[in-house]
Amino acid sequence: MRKRVWSSVLLLVLSLSLILAGCGSNNGGTAPASSGAETASGTSSSGSSDNGSEIKVGILHSLSGTMAISEKSVHDAELMAIEEINAKGGVLGKKLVPVIEDGASDWPTFAEKARKLISEDKVATVFGGWTSASRKAMLPVFEEMNGLLWYPVQYEGLESSPNIFYTGATTNQQIVPAVTWLLENRGKKCYLLGSDYVFPRTANKIIKEQLKAEGGELAGEEYTPLGHTDYSTIISKIQQADPDVVFNTLNGDSNVAFFKQLRDAGITAQDMTTLSVSVAEEEIRGIGADVLEGHLAAWNYYQTTDTPENKTFVENYKAKYGADRVTADPIEAGYTAVYLWAAAVEKAGSTDIAAVKEAAKGLEWSAPEGKVTIDGENQHIYKPVRIGEVQADGQFKELWSTGEAVKPDPYLKGYDWAASLSSGR
């Protein structure tokens, strides 16, 4: 009988805690980045965060979990851009205040935090995401609540949300030109190796169509689970197939295992070309430059990219976060995203999302990778494409580049062979 008394006490506590959870987090929700952000001028225009002398912007990357190692650097670059903009007087004369959330490498968490940033913090825009899965999770939230997301990573294309700006490459700015280049310079026989998730599978689907159209030959196709580390079987399969090129869409830790075991099997970059689309300067640090020397990658930006803007960017990044840090393509794209948004807001004269989107059409900016332009139609950006070779110091040497920025074409409408991929769109 007595047992029941404390269970009723518990129920009381439960109900109290429900109330407290609601109220408490309402107050605490804006900490810590925006401590003291509540300047109560109360003239909020167009329902966004345009309050008084500050504009709140959301930063939503994984700071914990498996993706943290990659996303933390982008998060750092975005904060650096915000700091630089504030040092120059902010946007519309107002200071930018970042509201930081942790996506925790978990897709529903990305959706939850995006919702929180828009509805509770009323941020003017959000910079965030890395994996396609996190973007796909956030997309319905941004569309439903009419928010604005800047997504900084190369991805598989076939998407164009009116509420997202894509500052990383779509397929025709990375994969498609890379395959063409390989077919012209390294041979026709292509082996596809990737992690088993959406980006590699979609990318390889595109590559297979392209090989058919451009006279290439498919030597084999293999997928391994994310985090897979035993590549001995696959390497011997590759040896048997004897391809000219391995097109590598592995992600994360798997690259470490694959390239080390490739070297242990006695295969060097001279014997067989591999081209990776998810190995950048950061990953080289983890895998080891000695292991990767001579292998290829396709990106839009390298730390070695020779522009005056990049020189300053690399210097500032190293000065702020340490001389041992490197910059890489997604880091640069995150940095660029903040500047592009700020420029669009200046042009629009407000943070109102419709106005910002309108102002962003055709907007140009001299990014570290070169001049980029926002495509008004699909909200991707024009980017130059570069193929690089890993050097002994862990940096890339540019072998080839398109020179000028390539127009983004997420649905590959400009390619006849891709008609079946984007059908019905």
Q: Kindly tell me which of 193 and 390 has the beta carbon lying closer to another protein.
A: 193
Burial category of 375 from C-beta neighbours within 10 Å (exposed 0-12, middle 13-18, buried 19 and up): buried
Q: Kindly tell me which of 234 and 345 has the beta carbon lying closer to another protein.
A: 234
Per CB under 8 A, does 36 bind another protein? no
Helices (H), 265-392: 281-287, 289-292, 308-321, 329-348, 353-360
- Kindly indicate which of the ranges 133-141, 176-184, 229-237, 275-283 contains the residues binding another protein, using the contact rule CB under 8 A: 133-141
The residue behind tokens 């050097």 is 391
Q: Kindly tell me which of 197 and 400 has the beta carbon lying closer to another protein.
A: 197
Q: Are 369 and 304 in contact (CB under 8 A)?
A: no
Q: Which residues contact 291 (CB under 8 A, 6 or more apart)?
A: 259, 260, 263
Q: Kindly tell me which of 5 and 323 has the beta carbon lying closer to another protein.
A: 5
- Residue 340 amino acid letter: L
Each residue 82-101 as x (binds another protein by CB under 8 A) or -, in order, gives: ------------------xx
Per CB under 8 A, does 35 bind another protein? no
Per CB under 8 A, does 139 bind another protein? yes
- Which residue in 70, 77, 96, 116 binds another protein (CB under 8 A)? 116
- Which residue in 69, 83, 84, 136 binds another protein (CB under 8 A)? 136
Q: How far is the CB of 162 from another protein (least distance, A)?
A: 14
Name the residue among 186, 85, 113, 132 with its Cα closest to residue 410: 132
Helices (H), 146-230: 175-185, 198-214
Q: How far is the CB of 183 from another protein (least distance, A)?
A: 23
Measured CA to CA, the distance from residue 269 to residue 273 in angstroms comes to 5
Per CB under 8 A, does 111 bind another protein? yes
Q: How far is the CB of 64 from another protein (least distance, A)?
A: 5
Give me the DSSP letters along 26-65.
HHHTTTTTTTT---TT----TTSSEETTEEEEEEEE-SSS
Measured CA to CA, the distance from residue 208 to residue 227 in angstroms comes to 25
Q: Kindly tell me which of 3 and 88 has the beta carbon lying closer to another protein.
A: 3
- Kindly indicate which of the ranges 22-30, 87-95, 255-263, 274-282 contains the residues binding another protein, using the contact rule CB under 8 A: 22-30
- Residue 389 amino acid letter: E
Residue ranges that bind another protein, judged by CB under 8 A: 1-19, 21-26, 28-29, 31-32, 63-64, 100-102, 104, 106-109, 111-113, 115-116, 119-120, 131-133, 136-137, 139-141, 144-145, 158, 196-198, 201-202, 205, 225-226, 421, 423-424
